[in-house]
Structure 1
Amino acid sequence: MAGRVAGALRVAAGTSSRVAMLAVALFAVVLAMALLPGNGVRALLGRDASQAEIDSYIRELGLDRPVLERFCDWFAGLVRGDFGETLRGESVNALLASRLPNTLALALPALALTLVVSTIIAVWWTGGDRPVFGRLASVGTTVVIALPEFVVATVLVLVLGLTLDVLPAVTMQNADGRPASLSMYVLPIAALSIPQIGWNSRVFAAAIREARMLPYVRAAEIDGVAETTLFLRYILRPALPTMIASLATTVGMIVGGSVVVESLFNFPGVGALVAASVATRDVNIVAAVVASTGIVIVVMLMSADAVRAWTRGHTV
Structure 2
Amino acid sequence: MVRTTRLVLGIVATRLGMLLVLLALVHAAVAFLPGSGVRGLLGKEASAEQVAATEHQLGLDRPWPLRFVEWLRNLAGGDLGQTLRGVPVVEVLGAKFLNTLLLGGLALILTATVSIVFGSLWALRPRSALARTMASGSTVLIAVPEFVLAAVFALVFAVWLGWLPAVTIPDGAGRPAELSMLVLPTIALAVPQTGWNIRVVHAALVDAGSTPAVHAAELDGLSRGSVLWHTILPTALPAIAMSLATTIGPLLAGTLVVETIFNYPGIGSVLAGSVADRDATLALTVVALAATSIMVVLLAADLLRAWVIQGRR
Task: State the TM-score, normalizing by the size of structure 2.
Answer: 0.91
Aligned to 2:151: 154
Question: Are the aligned partners of 1:277 and 1:283 in contact in 2 as well (CA < 8 Å)?
Answer: yes
State the AA in 2 paired with 1:52.
E
The match for 1:209 among 206, 218, 221 is 206
Deviation at 1:58, TM superposition (A): 1.3
Count matched residues: 313
Aligned CA distance change for structure 1 residues 221 and 285 (closer, same or farther; 3 Å)? farther
Aligned to 1:256: 253
Q: How does 1:80-119 map to 2 (within 5 A)?
A: 80-119=77-116
The match for 1:77 among 67, 74, 77 is 74
* Deviation per residue, 1:46-85 (Å, 9 max, x gap): 3333332222211111111111111111122233333222
Aligned to 2:35: 38
State the AA in 1 paired with 2:250.
M
Aligned to 1:308: 305
The match for 1:173 among 151, 158, 170 is 170
When structure 1 is superposed on structure 2, of 256-265 and 176-185 the one drifting more is 176-185
Alignment partners' CA distance in 2, 1:146 and 1:212:
29
Deviation at 1:227, TM superposition (A): 4.6
When structure 1 is superposed on structure 2, of 73-82 and 208-217 the one drifting more is 73-82
Overall identity of the aligned pairs, in %: 44
Alignment partners' CA distance in 2, 1:95 and 1:264:
21
State the AA in 2 paired with 1:180.
A
State the AA in 2 paired with 1:63.
L
Structure 1: segments with no counterpart, 5+ residues = none
Question: Are the aligned partners of 1:85 and 1:92 in contact in 2 as well (CA < 8 Å)?
Answer: yes
Deviation at 1:260, TM superposition (A): 1.1
The match for 1:134 among 131, 135, 142 is 131
Question: Are the aligned partners of 2:146 and 2:188 in contact in 1 as well (CA < 8 Å)?
Answer: yes
Please say if 1:23 is aligned against 2:23.
no
Alignment partners' CA distance in 2, 1:194 and 1:174:
27
Question: Are the aligned partners of 2:200 and 2:243 in contact in 1 as well (CA < 8 Å)?
Answer: yes
Question: Are the aligned partners of 2:8 and 2:303 in contact in 1 as well (CA < 8 Å)?
Answer: yes
* Deviation per residue, 1:112-161 (Å, 9 max, x gap): 11111111111011113443222211222112212221122112122222
State the AA in 1 paired with 2:226.
T
When structure 1 is superposed on structure 2, of 71-80 and 253-262 the one drifting more is 71-80
Question: Are the aligned partners of 2:95 and 2:175 in contact in 1 as well (CA < 8 Å)?
Answer: no
Aligned to 1:47: 44
Alignment partners' CA distance in 1, 2:132 and 2:28:
45
SS at 2:305's partner residue?
helix
Please say if 1:188 is aligned against 2:199.
no
Deviation at 1:26, TM superposition (A): 0.9
